[in-house]
Amino acid sequence: MLPQQIAIVKATIPVLQQYGETITATFYESLFEENPSLLNIFNPASQRNGNQARSLAASILAYAAHIDQLGQLGGMVDRIAHKHASLEVQAEHYPIVGKHLLQAIRTVLGEAATPEIIDAWAAAYGQLADIMIGVEKKLYTEGSTQPGGWAGFQPLVIERKVRESETITSFYLASPTGASLPSFRPGQYLAVKAHVPDAPFEQIRQYSLSQVSNGRTYRISVKRELAPEHLVAANNGLISNHLHAEVNEGDTLLAHVPQGDFVLKQSDKPVVLLSGGVGITPAICMLQELAEESARPVLFLHATRQRSHHAFREEMRTLVAAHDHMRAIVFYEKVSAPDMAGRDYDMIGRINADCLRANLPQQPADFYYCGPVGFTKAVEGVLDALNIPLAARYSESFAPDPSFATEIARA
């Protein structure tokens, strides 16, 4: 990019802050109107509630703010690239997206979108597209050439279907031929593709792998979301309800090789794992790895509504009891008569700064937290209160990321 183009892009940051979500909402509307086949890739629920538009606006804003220091975007680029790879986003999609993004900027800004601004943003988008295409190409190559790997989506057979709680069910997946499955890192996810009867498009969803890699099976654990009002509307919960109600042992699911950048970092520091609700799925996998391969201190905190919603209760308790370097604290919002403190739960309420402060390892630790958006925001508030540095925080929210603040600040 030319220096004057970089200056123009940085000068438009206040405009992006004011109109970014309007621009991205306009972008998605025109993109899907002209390219309805792309609805086979995007999650309609995130479109309907505005999460995807907010996430894209935040990404564009972060890119504009660091366009002269692209090295600081590493975390954001990696996270988006892994998600794109799990969706099979291809290089030929980028010119289509660029056309509609620039068109949306013109539409929303009107006469303020001068030719110079459009040219600068065209150059900025082209630069970002080249970066993303390069990173994603590497992920595709690694996925298809690793032992047991494949390109695109291939069928895996459901060997077992296990109810873990009132809302979460696990699916154990294996190769129909008995072939070995590619290894993965705890915290990564498996993208599955499904076509619900009467729905107009295929849908792809990412589900965290909840059991360490063993070369033979993958375990994904799926929370059943609120049922959609109309099946064909593809509201929230379309695929999770389909998996819970209509997919059974012996059936097959189309799956992508594992992706995701929310993984344990190489370190000797103690680890604090915090999970809320279904956020326990990557956390229990990380806990398994830390039990098997590390002696560094581990503090595991999990918050859930009540015992009926508590997935992996026995699995977690057994794992922690067998390893002296591990401790666990479970929070229930509600306690019923049969629930026993120390067996089912440890504290009533939500994870808070006082409890975390009293149980932290003596040495500086790394913090990994995962769950719904509200949970991750609450944890960030707790970590702020404890003055935990951003460089020691790693998170994943089960929704499009609305800020990317942690990744940018850490870099």
What 3 state SS string does 161-229 have?
EEECCCCEEEEEEECCCCCCCCCCCCCCEEEEEECCCCCCCCEEEEEEECCCCCCCEEEEEEECCCCCC
Q: Which of 94, 207, 345, 368 is catalytic?
A: 94
Core vs surface per residue 262-283: b (16+ CB within 10 A) or e: bbbeeeeebbbbbbbbbbbbbb
Question: What is the rounded CA–CA span in Å between residue 115 and residue 185?
Answer: 46
Asked if residue 211 lies in contact with residue 316, where contact means CB atoms within 8 angstroms, the answer is no
Among this protein's residues, is 136 annotated catalytic?
yes
Question: What is the rounded CA–CA span in Å between residue 152 and residue 255?
Answer: 8
If we measure between CA atoms, which residue out of 278, 204, 258, 213 comes closest to residue 234? 204
Among this protein's residues, is 111 annotated catalytic?
no
Q: Which of 28, 88, 125, 136 is catalytic?
A: 136
Question: What is the rounded CA–CA span in Å between residue 344 and residue 379?
Answer: 22
> In the numeric block, which tokens belong to residue 95?
């010119």
State the DSSP code for 322: T
> In the numeric block, which tokens belong to residue 252?
């097959």
Helical H runs in 275-404?
Answer: 280-293, 313-321, 353-359, 373-385
CA dist 353 → 271, 279, 380 (Å): 17, 19, 10
What phi and psi values does residue 172 have, to the nearest 5 degrees?
-95, 120
Which residues are known to be catalytic? 94, 136
